[in-house]
Structure 1
Amino acid sequence: MHKEQSVTEQMKHCIKVTKMYDWVNLMSEIKIKEKICIDHPEIFTDIICCEFRVPCDRTTPSTIWAKAGIENISGTLAIEYTCGCENLLIVIINGKVAASLFEGQSFCATIVDLQSVELLCQGKDDSESCIGEFKIVLHFQSAVDECDLENVKCFLSDCHGHPLYASDSCSFICEEISNKRKSFQVALPNGKIKRLNKVVVQKKGFITIQLFNKTGNLCKTCTIPFTEIETILLCAPPGTKLECEILSFDCEAYVIAPADGCTSFVEIIIVVSICQSIQTKAAVIMEIEGVLCKKVREEDSKFFTVNHSFDSTDIM
């Protein structure tokens, strides 16, 4: 008796549900080329002028200049031998003899890797000295490590360079940019003909690149925007809405140094791999039979008053 009564109380109801028309997991690869400026260490210049007096009876050269604590020093030096003990003045640069001067002669040279300047006065009278003037113009770089072009990282970020996760709602924009969906007939493997639509999807966001020096310290940061347009064939009839979810995000960056090695700009190639879930959905109304076990609120009653009924075949 109870069973018969429950069956007779079943009625037809119209409910509003979300229908999924199509769904696909898609792997996309985006390549980005960007040129950035690498700041090279600043070049400094220093000038040294002084008078020298080298004793005539020395058997070892006297050092009048030597580098200390700074690498890659270049310089232009001039030595003028004014008077002495009537013997040669030997000019020694970086441990090698560069010139031999008589009184009244001078020597000038530009040295790329300048390490030391020494003078040796060839004489026997310990009361006399070789006298002259020494001038040198030095060029050297600041003690800052240059960026290691092989040590580069990239990641998904906001416009300010703050790291983001692909799961963050604001990390990445994936949306349909055109409402004009062209339709095509496609033959399925089972021989059936299916009508699909071309959906134009835009993906955009920001990538931050970090370069490090040989000691592992950060020396350059650059945030760049990227945009990619992609067309996808889906079952997307009029009235359906596209939903795009980013499942994973990966980024790799490669730096190409300039061929001449002189320019401050380097080219960076970024390869972005994105796995996304793309769905087309729409709200539909279907007719079911059942027992109403809870009173429907009046404001929700609009979902149960329709002029057209759907059967279960409308749900995928």
Structure 2
Amino acid sequence: MQAKSLSGGQELLCINTTKVYDWIVNEATFDVSICVDLEDTDCDEVDTVTCEVEPLKAVVLNRQDREFIIDGEPITLQLVTIQKTFEVTVFVTKTNGATCQVDSQTFTRCEQVILCAPEGTKVKVDFTDVDCFVCVLECNRTPGGPLTLELGVTVRLCQSIQVTFPVTLEIVAEFCQPREILPFNPACPTPAIPLQCPVLFPTTPE
């Protein structure tokens, strides 16, 4: 069946959508300190120490109006304070090749960014890439105590920050049309005669 054409069917439409007030992509770097106790391990048994980071949540603590002059025009923007919480997990690989998780800690850090984010708008933070690495590693053992690893970990977050607000728009648009149906005409199989066995049958009369 052929789809009925809707071409030329423009009309005034009222739709709900989301308006983007502002959008930035930036990189944030944080340093954290982690102290890990290892039982039954010596410093010379530790080969490498690595980490993984997982963002947990991002919360807007406050926003304050700030006056700016951009291209000669005065404008009011907002200084937005964002609180971010993330979890860092530490792994130790020993000289025998065994790798094990030795600690996992949650950290909270804040940052401030300038945005067009008036009250009522929503500030959403999406992490497009997260990474961490161990920058400082000190290995110590107190007499009679466990092995202690003192780590300085650097966390790097690539983030997309958008300011949005739900709006209702009035637009003139044309309705979308369904695509044409692809032709599909399977061919009927032609009759076929099974192969015979002329050596065996039928036999030629003598």
TM-score of the superposed pair, with normalisation by structure 1: 0.47
Structure 1: stretches of 5+ with no match in the other structure = 1-5, 42-143, 157-170, 295-316
String of CA shifts for 1:268-312, please: whole Å, max 9, x gaps. 111010000010000112222356789xxxxxxxxxxxxxxxxxx
> What is the RMSD computed on CA atoms of the aligned residues?
2.8
Q: Between Structure 1 and Structure 2, how many residues are aligned?
A: 167
1:184 aligns with 2:66: yes
CA contact (8 A) 1:202 1:227 kept: yes
String of CA shifts for 1:116-170, please: whole Å, max 9, x gaps. xxxxxxxxxxxxxxxxxxxxxxxxxxxx89532x5111112xxxxxxxxxxxxxx
CA contact (8 A) 1:35 1:265 kept: yes
CA distance in 1, matches of 2:11, 2:100: 72
Paired residues for 1:243-262 under 5 Å: 243-253=124-134, 254-258=136-140
Match of 1:217 in 2: 98
Secondary structure, in 3 states, of the residue corresponding to 1:238?
coil
String of CA shifts for 1:183-235, please: whole Å, max 9, x gaps. 111222x2222221122212212111111222222366111111111121110
Secondary structure, in 3 states, of the residue corresponding to 2:118?
coil
The structure whose residues are more often strand, as a share, is 2
CA change 1:288–1:34 in 2 (3 A) is same
Match of 2:58 in 1: 175
TM-score of the superposed pair, with normalisation by structure 2: 0.69
String of CA shifts for 1:84-118, please: whole Å, max 9, x gaps. xxxxxxxxxxxxxxxxxxxxxxxxxxxxxxxxxxx
Paired residues for 1:122-271 under 5 Å: 146-148=44-46, 151-156=48-53, 171-178=54-61, 180-188=62-70, 190-218=71-99, 221-253=102-134, 254-258=136-140, 264-271=147-154
Secondary structure, in 3 states, of the residue corresponding to 2:63?
coil
Secondary structure, in 3 states, of the residue corresponding to 2:119?
coil
Secondary structure, in 3 states, of the residue corresponding to 2:93?
strand
CA contact (8 A) 1:22 1:280 kept: yes
Match of 1:286 in 2: 169
Letter in 1 for 2:122: K
CA distance in 2, matches of 1:211, 1:29: 23
CA contact (8 A) 2:129 2:158 kept: yes
CA contact (8 A) 2:43 2:139 kept: no
Secondary structure, in 3 states, of the residue corresponding to 1:181?
strand
CA distance in 1, matches of 2:167, 2:40: 63
Structure 2: stretches of 5+ with no match in the other structure = 1-7, 178-206
CA apart distance, 1:176: 2.4
